[in-house]
């Protein structure tokens, strides 16, 4: 599956803040202005469009669900993926 | 008292048009102030004095709204708190005699302001002792008639939301996309 990936935040920097959650308002190219919530419990996760995307859940990287995906790269940057529908 | 003998409402309408050229000058404080003071129609004062203008300030209230965002932290440290000013409102309740000439002028000013609300080509100032609004905006206006008397009850709300420094600029960053099975960043 092919996704459009957007670099949302850095995993380690967010962990260092010690925050339980953070709301981001960002503009995604070709999508528009969206709200993304980053949460930290047992796992760091992204909540986007009602879909909960835990980073590296059970070792899955990227983790995919309902047309969206989350991926952590070698630099610990977390990417949100939106499936490209052809 | 700044206002002198009685509470006063002052309406100011600029003469220069809102255009990209003039808007570009808004970041130059002294030049903008110069334009505001020299290219305006003379300020229109309306004294709110029952003896001279038949308009009387019955009561006034002042309210400030602040949005507070608290983001708690896992480790029990002090949470991150963001605040921004939403509005600073002064509500003035007036009583006026229906046949007052200055009342007709006040209602005409409000109608003119309503047509300029989008462009904000107007300013309203209100001075009454310790309650002052300088170059504020009209937030609300309503009137009601009494059946048993010849008085008009007016509620006028002035906002100081246009003052500097209460709301951070809303900067939304645009994130570029990378298409593929996984994001691969060059280099």
Tens digits of per-residue pLDDT, A40-71? 888 899 999 999 999 999 999 999 999 999 99
A40 touches chain B (CB under 8 A): yes
Whether ipTM tops 0.85, in short, is: no
In the predicted model, residues of chain B with pLDDT beneath 70 are 1-4, 15-41, 163-172, 186-187
Chain A residues touching B182 at Cβ < 8 A: 5, 62, 71, 73
Rounded CA separation B120/B115 (Å): 9
B81 touches chain A (CB under 8 A): no
pTM (2 d.p.):
0.61
Q: ∠ CA(B39), CA(B41), CA(B44), 5° rounding?
A: 145
Tens digits of per-residue pLDDT, B2-44? 556 789 999 988 766 556 665 666 666 666 666 555 555 678 8
Chain A residues touching B72 at Cβ < 8 A: 19-20
Chain B residues touching A30 at Cβ < 8 A: 177
Tokens of B30: 């002294």
Collapse the DSSP code of B37 into the 3-class scheme (helix H, G, I; strand E, B; otherwise coil) and give the result: helix
Instruction: Give, as one character, the DSSP assignment of residue B173.
Output: P
Decide: A7 and A77 in contact? Cβ < 8 Å.
Answer: yes
Q: Are strands B174-175 and B44-47 parallel, antiparallel or unpaired?
A: unpaired
């Amino acid at each position: 599956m092919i996704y459009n990936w957007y670099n949302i935040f850095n995993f380690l920097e967010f962990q260092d803040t010690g925050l339980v959650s953070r709301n981001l308002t960002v503009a995604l190219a070709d999508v528009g202005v969206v709200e993304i919530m980053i949460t930290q419990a047992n796992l760091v996760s992204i909540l986007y469009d009602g879909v909960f995307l835990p980073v590296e859940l059970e070792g899955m990287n990227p983790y995919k669900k309902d047309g969206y995906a989350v991926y952590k790269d070698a630099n610990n940057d977390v990417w949100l993926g939106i499936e490209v529908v052809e | 008292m700044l206002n002198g003998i009685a509470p006063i409402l002052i309406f100011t309408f600029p003469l220069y048009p809102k255009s990209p050229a003039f808007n570009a000058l808004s970041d130059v404080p002294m030049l903008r102030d110069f334009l505001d003071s020299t290219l305006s129609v003379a300020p229109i004062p309306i004294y709110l004095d029952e003896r001279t203008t038949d308009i009387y300030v019955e009561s006034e209230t002042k309210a400030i709204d602040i949005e507070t965002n608290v983001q708690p932290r896992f480790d029990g440290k002090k949470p991150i708190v963001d605040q921004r000013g939403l509005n600073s409102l002064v509500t003035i309740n007036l009583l006026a005699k229906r046949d007052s000439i200055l009342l007709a002028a006040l209602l005409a000013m409000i109608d003119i302001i309503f047509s300029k609300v989008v462009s904000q080509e107007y300013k309203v100032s209100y001075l009454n002792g310790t309650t002052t609004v300088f170059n504020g905006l009209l937030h609300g206006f309503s009137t009601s008639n009494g059946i048993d008397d010849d008085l008009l009850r007016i509620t006028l709300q002035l906002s100081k939301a246009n003052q500097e420094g209460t709301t951070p600029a809303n900067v939304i960053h645009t994130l570029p996309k990378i298409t593929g099975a996984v994001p691969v960043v060059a280099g």
